Structure 1
Amino acid sequence: MYDEDDLSLLDVEVELASPLDQMEALTDESELPQVDPEEMLPLLEHPEPQQRMLAARAFCDIEDARAIPHLIRLLNDTCPLVRVSAAYGIGRNPSLDAVEPLIEQLSRDLNGYVRKGVVWALGNCRDRQSLAPLADALRTDIPAVRLWAASALAQMAGVGYDVVVGAIPPLIEALVQDSVAAVRSNSAWAIGQLCKELPSNVVYATAIDALIQAFAEDKDLGVREDAKSAILGVGDPRGLQLIETLEQEGWF
């Protein structure tokens, strides 16, 4: 019996490991090459939910464009285990055709695990339509979904300059205000990834300021370290100088 309103089912402390962390492996790694897509494709339409789930999970390991229409349809499945498997399957087989169905499912699915899979898939699809729903998820959803929304926004780096600029403000807001340290850490990492795509302008400077503030002021050591890593990854001279100064002064 599934209680889809029980959002406490998601444990934030284990969400950083992998987007597939709550799903047991379909097979041992040594057996993965033996999974035959020709056998799995028909099972995506099987009347039994268990078979549909196993088939959808197979396409978390198999890349095959033929599965995409079936996986999109399974986003509406009555079984949440099928829906979450379909979302991760689309994440492994990203398609622009899946973006609108994913966005729609994100807005209406009551199951936190499903929404977490959906935001991961949206990030992998790398489409500008995903910016607004991912930003909204980062601001308003439960912690585990917010965590993956931050990571998904980092995937906007290659979509376009305007999309990168649009992704920075919600990430800064999360870095400064989110109550969960893991979400702040992921936001710091995502900002660092996006800053690499920005010229030295006011948006870039504002993002670096937020990273510097997190490095100097956040109460969580992990967040401070991730903000530092983001600054080092960008190679911003002002940020690097401040890190050196603070460390010489024994700030920590």
Structure 2
Amino acid sequence: MQTDDDLSVIESIEQLDDPLDRLETIDLEVPSADPEEMLPKLSDEDPSQRMLAARVFCELEDPRSIPLLIQLLDDICPLVRVSAAYALGRNTSPEAISALIDSLERDWNGYVRKGIVWALGNGSDRSSIQPLTHALRTDISAVRLWAASSLAQIAKREYEDTIATMPPLIEGLRRDSVAAVRGNCAWAIGQLCRELPSNVVYATAIDALIEALVEDEDYSVKEDAKSALLRVGDTRGMQMIEDLELEGII
């Protein structure tokens, strides 16, 4: 899946923006937000109409759109598929989550998978944790970036999920080759630490944030780790920040 030539462009750090932003360059009239008008257009023969109708449901919630949007996850046009993925992040259901997970495993297009990962995070369904963890470890940078954020959104709801999600996030913070991904892992760890008691997992997570603060070569990652520690308010982390500031290191 990741060997497709089209993904070489997506892999660059400059391509981590929202795929829907790129659709603005298409010279098409943006439709109104009338669901009665837009629902039939989700099945229109013209892919541009399917795409624009799906984009309306990125902002509009209507349960009648869900089965049609699920069908569009198999559309031949990647722009339709990514729009449908984002729309299913707004119009979520157990059926939508299942369809999104299936599409994450098989869609060749990195932008589509990025949209799917965002939608799964917004859906906040525990069944998404395993596929999101896999994406964080194996997918292209744009997808890994959002997988970290989505995992934090879902895992913070249940203690067991927080415990299970912390190791891959720490691994991403320590080893990912892209600074933006490491930074998002730091943010996600900070979010989850706020839900944890002071136990071994919590201490290991704080160790990883301090390690990033001291040792990461990228300034933005250091700042993300610092912000995460400040949000958590951990005594050890706060003392380390103070010491490094006094030494002029950060």
Aligned ranges 1:1-252 → 2 under 5 Å: 5-10=5-10, 11-15=12-16, 18=18, 20-24=20-24, 34-252=32-250
Counterpart-to-counterpart distance in 1, 2:184 and 2:22: 19
Cα separation, 2, equivalents of 1:100 and 1:166: 21
Identity of aligned residues (%): 64
Residue pair 1:228, 1:243 contacting (<8 A) in 2 also: yes
Q: TM-score, normalised by structure 1?
A: 0.91
Deviates more, 1:196-205 or 1:172-181: 196-205
One-letter code of the match for 2:194? K
Cα RMSD for the two superposed structures: 2.0
Structure 2 unpaired stretches of 5+: none
User: Contact 2:189–2:205 (CA<8 Å) still a contact in 1?
Assistant: yes
Q: Is the 8 A contact 2:7 2:109 kept in 1?
A: yes
Calculate the TM-score normalised by the size of structure 2: 0.92
CA change 1:229–1:21 in 2 (3 A) is farther
1:44, 1:56 within 8 Å by CA — same for their partners in 2?
yes
Structure 2: distance between partners of 1:25 and 1:127: 33
The secondary structure found in structure 2 opposite 1:46 is coil
SS in 2 for 1:199: coil
Give the residue type in structure 2 aligned to 1:176: R
Any stretches of 5+ residues in structure 1 without a counterpart? none
Which has the larger displacement, 127-136 or 89-98? 89-98
Partner letter of residue 80 of structure 1?
Answer: P
Contact between 1:156 and 1:167, CA under 8 Å: does it hold in 2?
A: no
The one-letter amino acid of 2:23's match is: M
CA distance 1:23–1:199, shift in 2 (3 Å): farther
After the TM superposition, list the runs of 4 or more consecutive aligned residues in structure 1 that deviate by more than 6 angstroms.
none
The separation in 2 between residues aligned to 1:20 and 1:240, in whole angstroms, is 39
Shift of 1:165: 1.1
Aligned counterparts of 2:23 and 2:167: Cα–Cα separation in 1: 32
CA-CA distance at 1:73 after TM superposition = 1.3
Kept in 1, the 8 Å contact 2:117–2:147? The answer is yes
